[in-house]
Chains A and B, each alone.
Chain A
Amino acid sequence: MVSLAIPSDIAFVILTVVTITAAIMALHAKELIYGAVSLAVSFIGIAGFFALLDAPYLAMLQIAIYVGAIVVLILFTIMLVRRDQAPEIDEQTNSESPVGLWLAGLLALAISGVVALAGASLPTGEPPANLQVSDLGPVLTSQYPVPLIVLALLLSASLLGALVLAKVER
């Protein structure tokens, strides 16, 4: 069913393997730092998916924000917490338990079921013309002004919250 003739298909397979392998390594790394590095690789893989889907702007922001900011935050936290203060990882958690596999299988089944049911109503034909970055601004400000304002309020609220928390600790 899946033919690997098109270069983007090959890129998709490679990206999928890299992203999922890195995600699994992030969960299983003994040393937290290696976990954070694997997480960064996984994020870069996701940026690759965005680039494949003709969304270069999203891909760049994914790298800048997730790899450039969030992974840095995680690394910073790991390094500031001294090892003797770090909580003991409970070896009794059932990392070998098959529940996760069952859940993943269930999820895959559900998704494929939904896709199969909706098969007739899925959009077909040519994808819309390549969206420019400069088209995003007018769409956001003219078509979706309310969500934009709500998002801005949410961000300023979280900023104020951070300020209040920092003030209390002093």
Chain B
Amino acid sequence: MVVFPPTTPAELVALVIRIITSHTFITVVVFPGFIHLTVVVIFLTWYERKLLARIQLRIGPLYAGGPGGLFQPLADGVKLIFKEVMIPYKASKPLFLGIPVLLVFLSALPFAVIPFGQHWVIANIDVGLVFVFAMTSLFPSMILLFAWASNSKYPFLGGLRSLFQQVAYEIPMWISTLSIVLLAGSLNLVDIVRAQQKIWFIVPAFLSFVVFFISIMAELERLPFDLPEAEPELVAGWYTEASGAIFMLIFMGLYMKLYLMSSLVTVLFLGGWWGPTILPQPVWFILKSLIVATFIIIPRGVYPRIRVDMLIKIGWTRLLIIALANVFLTIILIGTGFMTAWGI
């Protein structure tokens, strides 16, 4: 019996149990909320190190315990928390300390609308896709502000590079998702996944997939687009001055953004939670997202970095035009009846 407000201890216990076992509490705190995100982010840091090591014929983390040094990220985390936070001379303290927290917050917030299963979504809102883009569009300004707050020349150069790179690639990224919205007839991410029950959108919208994938590589500052953190020129790019817990927060934010973008690819192109029913829906979703993340990580061990002028040229004169042409192609295909809107 649940009574509010509780008067006896037994009622209080009943109320607490009711809250903890409620669907809202579980989706926000356990899955797909905080605990799941933290675990996946910790796993991704280890996974990237191990994968790159294998590509380059090294061994990677080994000694920290667990299979294959799986506890290495935990050891790193403990080390970073106990290290001193160095604040550069004449740095802007509120921005320098506040923005790393905001970065984690901003990259975790869009997971509220990402559907991990038919019922595993925190907020099923009608403008899910626009919400994700609104949140990711705040990243460039955060990065630029952090770079400025560091009061040092390498972070500042990295911040400016990051800004023009992300602004240039945001536009093809938005436009390439237009054909998905046309095909699904909705901005709601749950509806978009539901429309892919028969065929994944990567088949009818392959061109969009290519443009979107290249754009998110640039948005995530992954090789070959990692100019903002080019090690030989800029030390570590826009987070050169970050240390200790501040560095850990930035790192968490970046890996959470990597997971966010790979799950967005899964939602838009790879059929979200759909898969043979031998495994539950969230397992399929996480599996697909991790595979996408693998393909985002692999180029780091394989390709060299491209030049600034190449970066800008690819963004503004190739991707943008392909994305726009693709929108018209989709409209023509739907208009002539080769594809039907609202699911194929």
Seen from chain A, the residues whose Cβ lies within 8 Å of a Cβ on chain B are: 33, 37, 40, 56-57, 60-61, 63-64, 67-69, 71-72, 75-76, 79, 132-134
B-side contacts of A63, CB under 8 Å: 134-135, 137-138
Give the residue name and chain of the A residue nearest to B156 (CB): A79
CA distance A141 to B127 in the complex (A): 20
**Residue B233 at the A interface, CB < 8 A?**
no
**Residue B195 at the A interface, CB < 8 A?**
no
Asked if A68 contacts B141 (CB within 8 A), the reply is: yes
Seen from chain B, the residues whose Cβ lies within 8 Å of a Cβ on chain A are: 92, 95, 125-127, 130-131, 133-135, 137-138, 140-141, 144-145, 148, 156, 160, 163, 167, 170, 185-187
Asked if A64 contacts B160 (CB within 8 A), the reply is: no
Give the residue name and chain of the A residue nearest to B141 (CB): A72
Asked if A68 contacts B138 (CB within 8 A), the reply is: yes
Asked if B137 contacts A64 (CB within 8 A), the reply is: yes
| A60, A71, A132, most chain B CB atoms within 10 A | A60
CA distance A134 to B188 in the complex (A): 10
Q: Is the interface of A mostly helix, strand, loop or mixed?
A: helix
Asked if A64 contacts B163 (CB within 8 A), the reply is: no
Asked if B144 contacts A64 (CB within 8 A), the reply is: no
CA distance A56 to B141 in the complex (A): 23
CA distance A37 to B133 in the complex (A): 20
Give the residue name and chain of the A residue nearest to B133 (CB): A64
Q: List 30 A-B contacts (CB under 8 A).
A: A33-B148, A37-B95, A37-B145, A56-B125, A56-B131, A57-B126, A57-B127, A57-B130, A57-B187, A60-B127, A60-B131, A63-B134, A64-B134, A67-B137, A68-B134, A68-B137, A68-B170, A69-B137, A72-B140, A72-B163, A72-B167, A75-B141, A75-B148, A76-B144, A76-B163, A79-B156, A79-B160, A132-B126, A133-B126, A134-B185
CA distance A57 to B148 in the complex (A): 32
CA distance A57 to B187 in the complex (A): 10
CA distance A71 to B138 in the complex (A): 10
Give the residue name and chain of the A residue nearest to B130 (CB): A60
CA distance A69 to B137 in the complex (A): 8
Asked if A79 contacts B141 (CB within 8 A), the reply is: no
CA distance A67 to B134 in the complex (A): 9
Given contacts A71-B141, A76-B144, A76-B163, 5 further A-B contacts (CB under 8 A): A61-B130, A69-B167, A75-B148, A79-B144, A133-B126
Knowing A64-B137, A72-B167, the reply to whether A56 touches B126 (Cβ < 8 A) is yes
A-side contacts of B130, CB under 8 Å: 57, 60-61, 64
9 interchain residue pairs of minimum CB distance:
A68-B137, A60-B130, A64-B134, A63-B134, A60-B134, A64-B137, A72-B141, A56-B127, A57-B127
Asked if B134 contacts A61 (CB within 8 A), the reply is: yes
CA distance A55 to B243 in the complex (A): 41
CA distance A6 to B330 in the complex (A): 46
CA distance A57 to B130 in the complex (A): 7
CA distance A40 to B133 in the complex (A): 17
A-side contacts of B133, CB under 8 Å: 60, 64
Asked if B134 contacts A133 (CB within 8 A), the reply is: no
CA distance A69 to B168 in the complex (A): 11
B-side contacts of A61, CB under 8 Å: 130, 134
